[in-house]
Amino acid sequence: MAGDSLATGQRSPGDPAITYPLWPPLTSGCPRTGTAEIAYPVEVDYAYDEVPDDLFRRSHGPSAALDRWAPLLPPLDAPTLGEGGTPLIEIGDGVYLKDESRNPTWSHKDRLNRCTVSAAVRMDAPGVVVASSGNHGASAAAFAARAGLRCTVLTSPDAPPAVRSFVDAYGAVVLPLPQESRWPLMRLIADRLGYHPVSNLTVTHTGHAFGPEGYKTIAYEIFTQIGVPAAVFTPTGYGELLFGVWKGFAELRRLGLAERTPRMYACEPAAGAPLAAALRQGSPAAVVPVGPTSAYGIACSVGGYRGLVAIRESGGEALPVSDEEMAAAQAELARQGVWAELSAAAGLAGLRRRGAVDGPVVCVSTSSGFKDLAVGSHRAEPVEPTWEAVSRRLRAARITA
Amino acid sequence: MAGDSLATGQRSPGDPAITYPLWPPLTSGCPRTGTAEIAYPVEVDYAYDEVPDDLFRRSHGPSAALDRWAPLLPPLDAPTLGEGGTPLIEIGDGVYLKDESRNPTWSHKDRLNRCTVSAAVRMDAPGVVVASSGNHGASAAAFAARAGLRCTVLTSPDAPPAVRSFVDAYGAVVLPLPQESRWPLMRLIADRLGYHPVSNLTVTHTGHAFGPEGYKTIAYEIFTQIGVPAAVFTPTGYGELLFGVWKGFAELRRLGLAERTPRMYACEPAAGAPLAAALRQGSPAAVVPVGPTSAYGIACSVGGYRGLVAIRESGGEALPVSDEEMAAAQAELARQGVWAELSAAAGLAGLRRRGAVDGPVVCVSTSSGFKDLAVGSHRAEPVEPTWEAVSRRLRAARITA
């Protein structure tokens, strides 16, 4: 263990003068700056001047997981599953792949959920609730099970069956619901059952304030692996991963350990691409229609403010990539012995679209190719999108006792 | 990098006086002691007195992979995928899970294949050939792709479709063949095409001499994580993993770093259980009928001599476990947030069958729950079990140019 959390509170990334205590986590974003159209997220602040000098040099156990970075994370009250500590694999010409399929539920989401489920434990919640058709739900279910909490996953009726088998395996209650009903019902489950929400509760994206803190550890690890790269390309949906990785490097600069941050490239499915739209419009977040795409893990109609911060502050770009470009990147990775989910290959697809970058480049590969499999044998019964139907389903699962 | 390999040659585990040079790897076992009924494997020997004093203490990069242990492994000529370095997760009452689903192709087989594909590279083979219906084939395909070698996987027509999609992803040629035809055809592919065999070529099991060397690193990691446990329970098919983990601890004792080895428990599907049969019969290896079982990853009709060495030398046991016991262990792991393949849960099933052990216990969980999924959409066309049909299929894949 690296010691206790140095987290001091929550603040608005847009206006550092606006601060809140650390508890409770503001799962609906910043109450002072949010409007009906745009929600602004909050982020966690730390006593940076108390960070141990040797935090980034000290040796650590082989199962150190996120605990290695405890001073720069919110309190880690949920037990670990050995998340993080993933390898960086050189794939030629100074390009490295950060293979996040090597996490406990085989995606980057485990870094986020160690932090958000820890918040649920600290808040003494009986369970967690998450809206997700993919990796986020499975990861939340695993960390909730490990912590002895209930988990309810609001998913889409057409979510990939492989992922659904996976969520079921951890004993979560899966509620397949139409997209537009998921967030209002999630708020009801949070309000009426006291479940802690570990994903978004707002119109434009804010997410859980503690989530990107977990993603910061990707930057910390890259720093100990190869130093500061010239650029990082991440698969991008809401932009939480993008923001988290950028924040990690920004903290390294703030701590005097790095001279600069890498340029951050948001690799979004061209079928939607809300960050590219927000940059074009000059708005803090955009809502866009989403066309057909197989990159279900990152196909988002709403963006968030945090992703824009990372792109603007780092001198990066939003790079929409087509399904064909992602498939080509996926095939390129397979020839290197790495089988990635289609969405996970968006980072490399973005690099190939942009062309060569001078200096070492890291592409984050978020998840395993297994996630895309069309199992076909595990279709969950859809649930009517009303509180009555949802609470009936929860009672059947003995959730509300 | 930890330096060069100190491997000096190959020797018979049964008679240390029988030695061979390191090259070529004896993929058909020991030519001097083998008979028509029983094949004896060989293993790799090292210049143990030249092992650096601080090998088990020195700090290492976060992507050190097997290279960290290079002095005690055969030469690692194939490029790494960041294999090994998996977490040890405490699941209560002094029981730890070594989560091997955190490897590059999400199973322990990656440790073996880094070593065996390295041998293929050193031997200048144009490709590798492997008989496998599961994780071994996928892992060999990934390491072969990474090394720029061809790969042919001889699989069973009823292999789980999820695993088959997986092997295909790395560009291997998959040849579904009846069980009894797989080994003779594998030998033909090795002889006629010069492919390096990375799985078994013999009647009773010998496997590749370099394979268990990769598994030794599980013992090295456990030693740096918690020291020497009282017992290790491993899912057991041919017994290569069991032997490799035991050999790693035996080397630690030989190097003066440990005082004892853990008791090694071979957890075999009760439907077959060749090691239990060999122990009962007092023979060096047994051939048994295999009844119905869903633990396809470890359902073997033939055993091998190496597994018996590990059990006898360590004071362990063979523990046949039923599918129901494995399913119960799988459910227990899921409640802890770990989704394991059914076969992978055999280690914990064996511990539960045996009852509490005094002192820390490690159960090895070999692979991810994704491997069991019945995808159903990716059925490969069976191939007629003749050399003519096989070479036609290979030519169609432009393998023999």
Instruction: Report which of B18, B60, B77 is spatially closest to residue B42, judged by C-alpha positions.
Output: B18
Minimum CA–CA partner of B170 in chain A = A334
Percent of chain A beyond pLDDT 70? 95
Contact A286, A277 (CB under 8 A): yes
Out of B89, B144, B373, the one facing A81 most closely (by C-beta) is: B89
Is B43 strand, coil or helix?
A: strand
Q: Please give the pLDDT value at position A20.
A: 97
pLDDT tens across B260-274, in order?
Answer: 999 999 999 999 999
Q: B-chain residues within 8 Å CB-CB of A105?
A: 337, 339
Contact check, Cβ <8 Å, B166/A370: yes
Q: Please give the pLDDT value at position B156.
A: 82
Q: What is the mean pLDDT of residues A160-174?
A: 81
Q: Please give the pLDDT value at position A63.
A: 56
User: Would A88-104+210-372 and A109-208+375-396 be classified into the same CATH topology?
Assistant: yes
All residues at 6 or more sequence positions from B401 whose CB lies less than 8 Å from its CB, including other chains: none
Contact A162, B370 (CB under 8 A): yes
All residues at 6 or more sequence positions from B23 whose CB lies less than 8 Å from its CB, including other chains: B122, B123
Report the range out of A53-67, B30-44, B54-68 with the highest average pLDDT. B30-44
Q: Give me the interface pTM, i.e. the ipTM.
A: 0.93
> How far apart are the C-alpha atoms of B3 and B175, rounded to whole Å?
39
Q: What is the mean pLDDT of residues B335-348?
A: 97
Q: Please give the pLDDT value at position A1.
A: 44
Is B367 strand, coil or helix?
A: strand
Minimum CA–CA partner of A57 in chain B = B59
Q: What is the mean pLDDT of residues B44-60?
A: 90
What CATH class has B109-208+376-396?
alpha beta
User: Measured between CB atoms, does A175 come within 8 Å of chain B?
Assistant: no
Q: What is the mean pLDDT of residues B215-228?
A: 96
Pairing of the two strands A95-99 and A88-90:
antiparallel
- In sequence order, which ranges of A227-366 are alpha helices (DSSP H)? 240-254, 274-281, 305-314, 323-335, 346-354
> How far apart are the C-alpha atoms of B305 and B205, rounded to whole Å?
7
Instruction: Report which of A57, A65, A56, A106 is spatially closest to residue A84, judged by C-alpha positions.
Output: A65
User: Measured between CB atoms, does A135 come within 8 Å of chain B?
Assistant: no
> How far apart are the C-alpha atoms of B139 and A302, rounded to whole Å?
38
pLDDT tens across A111-151, in order?
Answer: 999 999 999 999 999 999 999 878 999 999 999 999 999 99
Q: What is the mean pLDDT of residues A191-195?
A: 93
Q: What is the mean pLDDT of residues A185-192?
A: 91
pLDDT-based confidence at residue B128 (cuts at 50, 70, 90)? very high
Out of B103, B221, B376, the one facing A62 most closely (by C-beta) is: B221
Architecture of domain B88-104+210-372: 3-Layer(aba) Sandwich (3.40)
**In terms of C-beta density within 10 A (0-12 exposed, 13-18 middle, 19 or more buried), how is residue A33 classed?**
middle
Q: What is the mean pLDDT of residues B89-115?
A: 97
> How far apart are the C-alpha atoms of B274 and B290, rounded to whole Å?
9
Tell me which H or E stretch contains A112: helix A109-122
> How far apart are the C-alpha atoms of B343 and B335, rounded to whole Å?
17
Out of B99, B104, B376, the one facing A377 most closely (by C-beta) is: B376
Percent of chain A beyond pLDDT 90? 71
Cβ-Cβ pairs closer than 8 A, A with B, add up to: 147
A39/chain B closest Cα distance in angstroms = 33
Q: Please give the pLDDT value at position A174.
A: 87
pLDDT at A375 exceeding the cut of 50: no
CATH 3.40.50.1100 fits A109-208+375-396, yes or no: yes
Out of A146, A337, A376, the one facing B336 most closely (by C-beta) is: A146
Any bridge partners for residue B131, and if so which?
A: B154
Tell me which residues of chain A, numbers 235 to 264, contact chain B at a CB-CB cutoff of 8 Å. Answer: none
Which of the residue ranges A26-35, A160-169, A282-291, B329-338 would you say has the lowest mean pLDDT? A160-169
All residues at 6 or more sequence positions from B324 whose CB lies less than 8 Å from its CB, including other chains: none
Contact check, Cβ <8 Å, B106/A370: yes
| C-alpha distance from residue A317 to each of A278, A312, A348, A350, A360 (Å) | 12, 8, 14, 10, 17
Q: How much is the mean pLDDT over chain A?
A: 90
Q: Where are the domains of chain A?
A: 88-104+210-372, 109-208+375-396
Q: Please give the pLDDT value at position A389.
A: 79
- Angle CA A286–A290–A291, to nearest 5: 150
User: Measured between CB atoms, does B165 come within 8 Å of chain A?
Assistant: yes
**In terms of C-beta density within 10 A (0-12 exposed, 13-18 middle, 19 or more buried), how is residue A355 classed?**
exposed
Tell me which residues of chain B, numbers 267 to 326, contact chain A at a CB-CB cutoff of 8 Å. Answer: none
pLDDT at B1 exceeding the cut of 60: no
All residues at 6 or more sequence positions from A233 whose CB lies less than 8 Å from its CB, including other chains: A265, A267, A319, A347, A348, A350, A351, A354, A361, A362, A363, A364
Which of the residue ranges A104-118, A170-184, A365-379, B276-290 would you say has the lowest mean pLDDT? A365-379
Instruction: For residue B349, count other CB atoms closer than 10 A to its CB.
Output: 30
Minimum CA–CA partner of B63 in chain A = A87
